[in-house]
Amino acid sequence: MRRCLDLARMAYPACRPNPMVGALVVHNGRIISEGFTQAYGEAHAEVMAIRGVADDLLSESTLYVSLEPCAHHGKTPPCADLILEKGIPKVVIACRDPFVEVDGRGVERLKAAGVEVIEGVLAEQARRLNKRFFTFHQKKRPYVILKWAESIDGFIDGIRNGGEAVKISSQLTSQRVHQWRSEEPAILVGGNTARLDLPRLDVRWVEGPSPERFIWSTSDLDASHPLSQSGYNRIEANSVEEVLSSLYQQGIQSVLVEGGAQVHQQFVDNASFDEIRRLIGEVELVDGVKAPRLMHDSLRQEKSGTDVIKYYAPVEGV
């Protein structure tokens, strides 16, 4: 199953909005075929693993898969039907699929046909791998990542007096931010930040797709704004809940929120986030725009590497 999870990671981001899934076929204790979910609308992991194996071997093999096989007709036929067609006698699954069209139906179909099904192998690791997919289907909102850079004395910007924003991030951390952008389907900033900073919100410093750009604002940006040239979506909302509802209705499974301070604070105060990625620069500003306030007693913290990136996530049950 660990190999299945490794395979699943190879599916992202091409597979989205489908989950990352890895599968393999074991015959007489040896892996004889493996696969992972292809680009959206193409073959699922189970299909890729099964394709290269003769039927007579499949009837004596075990299929391992990191997520419950689908049992509905979507872009592709049900994987559960393929498993039954090939006569695979045993299937080992990490966890069930939370999507309402699956959620136990794949397991039930296999068991009803006499297939031995084992569930719960590395289940927590499998759910964590597809945290975006699970959050979207179980909480009915996108997986929310808040990201900001702040000075060593707790400011995200200095006093501009008409000038440009103070550079806090290093080139290395800026490249990492662009990597993060490439990993999420959407990015969000507030209207004030968009107008003041003139951000492009795209991916330039690494290879990867640019996210869909969203502006939380009561009015459109000027036609001369960089985002007006490249394209953006405006969300007019009175609350964080309305913003997340709008993104959910548009099928956005995860969003990287890049500010500004007021937008971040609203997400923090409302506990409407799953991660905070807080970059601490070496610059000292003394005065300026204060970084969002965090309730440290309700967050767990993990420091990462030499970039001094601190990750926060809500403690379970809070």
What is the per-residue pLDDT across 153-174, written as a single tens digit (0 to 9) for each?
889 988 877 667 778 877 888 8
> Annotated catalytic residue: which of 34, 42, 46, 183?
46
b/e per residue 129-144 (b: at least 16 CB within 10 A): bbebbbbbbeeebbbb
Query: Per-residue confidence of the chain (318 residues) as pLDDT tens digits?
Result: 999 999 999 999 899 999 999 999 999 999 999 999 999 989 999 999 999 899 999 999 999 999 999 997 777 889 999 999 999 999 999 999 999 889 899 999 999 999 999 999 999 999 999 999 999 999 999 999 999 998 888 899 888 776 677 788 778 888 989 999 999 999 999 999 999 999 999 999 999 999 999 999 999 999 999 999 999 999 999 999 999 999 999 999 999 999 889 999 999 999 899 999 988 888 889 888 999 988 765 577 776 655 556 766 665 543
Q: Is 183 a catalytic residue?
A: no
What is the per-residue pLDDT across 23-76, written as a single tens digit (0 to 9) for each?
999 999 999 999 999 999 899 999 999 998 999 999 999 999 999 999 977 778
Alpha-carbon distance 142 to 155, whole Å? 28
Which pTM does this prediction carry? Answer: 0.89
Query: Residue 161 in contact with residue 272, Cβ under 8 Å?
Result: no
